[in-house]
């Protein structure tokens, strides 16, 4: 297999995922590729498919816990696929564009709509997959369509209604489809107002989230009628730690890596939170973070 893939000079073998995950944890992926254009991405996907290699497509790895034994198969990171276009107030972004870059582009051309999601540290592909959102705006509010590649390397366009958006999930969740692009309908606005709003949202984020430590953001989805962070805090778990992993004292919805945590440490805290919160409040917390890799 290695011989077949050696022609792709952007592939690394036995590559630690801790170099790429926002958590800075996770064992090695058998192969890891960061293609620079869609043609190379398609060519690689085709070779991997022909050779029946399990394949995982990620963006910035900001919503992942990769287990410590790593990933058997190939990981493709999209974050070098960086195209941006605009027409009739619709921005179309390649899957690897970061939300920060997309928001900065919208600001430059005086289009409003991305401000509230500008601080989400992932890519467009990851955001659409997750229906990411913050401060009252989710992908479902601004997206009008996306384009994806199916298992036979055919490209399809999916209109907004067909995205089956829900709480941190979409049509793409648990599929093997690769999101290539997404289009967002924005509204012309005064650049100064856009900038001011972005600054305010960034301030809110900084004051309420432990951004100085590696994390995956909120670990759990928001349960109906509750806030996960408040339940965890009320259960007395704030500050609880296992080795280098800790329930943040700033925001109990975050588990942070204080330096030398493993994925196992983080996962053991997730299990503990689920058990304690269920026993106390009969609320079943569902992880928002994607947990991947060999047990």
Ligand X SMILES: Cc1cc2nc3c(=O)[nH]c(=O)nc-3n(C[C@H](O)[C@H](O)[C@H](O)COP(=O)(O)OP(=O)(O)OC[C@H]3O[C@@H](n4cnc5c(N)ncnc54)[C@H](O)[C@@H]3O)c2cc1C
Active site positions, annotated: 168, 218, 288
Residue 271, phi then psi, degrees to nearest 5: -60, -45
- Convert 161-211 into a string of H (helix), E (strand) and C (coil): HHHCCECCECCCCCCCCEEEEEEEECEECCHHHHHHHHHHHHHHHHHHCCC
Binds ligand X (CB under 6 A): choice among 65, 111, 130, 245: 130
Binds ligand X (CB under 6 A): choice among 59, 244, 253, 287: 59
Contacts of 11 by beta carbon, 8 Å cutoff, 6+ apart? 5, 31, 32, 33, 44
Count of residues that bind ligand X according to CB under 6 A: 32
According to the binding rule CB under 6 A, does residue 253 interact with ligand X? no
According to the binding rule CB under 6 A, does residue 74 interact with ligand X? no
Complex with ligand X: residue 4 or 199, whichever CB lies closer: 199
The terminus-to-terminus CA distance of the chain in angstroms comes to 23
According to the binding rule CB under 6 A, does residue 76 interact with ligand X? no
What does the alpha-carbon distance between residue 120 and residue 209 come to, in Å, rounded to a whole number? 12
Binds ligand X (CB under 6 A): choice among 82, 89, 134, 268: 134
Residue 217 C-beta: closest distance to ligand X, Å: 2
Of 42, 51, 44, 39, the closest CA to residue 10 belongs to 44
Residue 287: DSSP 8-state? B
According to the binding rule CB under 6 A, does residue 133 interact with ligand X? yes
Residue 247 C-beta: closest distance to ligand X, Å: 15
What mask, x for binding ligand X by CB under 6 A, covers residues 210 to 249?
Answer: -x---xxx--------------------------------
Binds ligand X (CB under 6 A): choice among 26, 121, 253, 293: 121
What does the alpha-carbon distance between residue 101 and residue 123 come to, in Å, rounded to a whole number? 9
Q: Is 234 helix (H, G, I), strand (E, B) or coil?
A: helix
Residue 220, phi then psi, degrees to nearest 5: -110, 150
Residue 205 C-beta: closest distance to ligand X, Å: 7
Q: Which stretch binds ligand X (CB under 6 A): 1-9, 11-19, 37-45, 51-59?
A: 51-59
According to the binding rule CB under 6 A, does residue 126 interact with ligand X? yes
Q: Please report how the helices 99-108 and 191-208 are oriented relative to each other, as an axis angle in degrees rounded to 10.
A: 150
**Residue 59, phi-psi category: left (phi > 0), alpha (psi -120 to 50), beta (remainder):** alpha
Residue 15 C-beta: closest distance to ligand X, Å: 15
Residue 81 C-beta: closest distance to ligand X, Å: 8
Binds ligand X (CB under 6 A): choice among 27, 70, 125, 293: 125
SS3 content of the chain, % helix, strand, coil (to 5): 30, 25, 40
Binds ligand X (CB under 6 A): choice among 29, 45, 290, 293: 290
What does the alpha-carbon distance between residue 198 and residue 177 come to, in Å, rounded to a whole number? 32
Complex with ligand X: residue 170 or 262, whichever CB lies closer: 170
Touching ligand X, residues 165-204 (CB under 6 A)? 172, 178-179
Binds ligand X (CB under 6 A): choice among 25, 78, 92, 137: 78
Residues that bind ligand X (CB under 6 A): 22, 56-64, 78, 95, 120-123, 125-127, 129-130, 132-134, 172, 178-179, 211, 215-217, 290
């Amino acid at each position: 297999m290695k011989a077949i893939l050696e022609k792709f000079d952007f592939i690394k073998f036995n590559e630690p995922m801790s170099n790429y995950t926002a958590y800075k944890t996770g064992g090695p992926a058998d192969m890891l590729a960061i293609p620079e254009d869609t043609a190379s991405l398609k060519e690689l996907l085709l070779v991997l498919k022909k050779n029946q290699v399990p394949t995982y497509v990620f963006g910035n790895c900001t919503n992942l816990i990769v287990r410590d034994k790593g990933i058997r198969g190939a990981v493709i990171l999209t974050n070098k696929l960086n195209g941006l276009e605009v027409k009739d107030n619709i921005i179309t972004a390649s899957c690897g564009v970061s939300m920060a870059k997309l928001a900065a582009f919208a600001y430059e051309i005086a289009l409003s709509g991305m401000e509230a999601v500008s601080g989400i540290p992932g890519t467009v592909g990851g955001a659409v997959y997750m229906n990411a959102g913050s401060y009252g705006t989710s992908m479902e509010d601004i997206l009008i369509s996306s384009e994806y590649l199916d298992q036979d390397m055919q490209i399809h366009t999916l209109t907004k209604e067909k995205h089956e958006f829900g709480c941190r999930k979409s049509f793409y969740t648990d599929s093997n489809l690769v999101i290539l692009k997404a289009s967002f309908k924005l509204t012309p606005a005064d650049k100064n107002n856009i900038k001011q709003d972005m600054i305010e949202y960034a301030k809110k984020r900084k004051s309420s989230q432990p951004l100085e430590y590696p994390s995956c953001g909120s670990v759990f989805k928001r349960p109906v009628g509750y806030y996960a962070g408040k339940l965890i805090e009320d259960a007395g778990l704030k500050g609880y730690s296992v080795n280098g992993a800790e329930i943040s004292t700033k925001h109990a919805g975050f588990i942070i890596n204080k330096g030398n945590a493993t994925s196992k440490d983080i996962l053991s805290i997730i299990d503990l939170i689920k058990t304690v919160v269920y026993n106390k409040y009969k609320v079943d917390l569902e992880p928002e973070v994607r947990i991947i890799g060999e047990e």
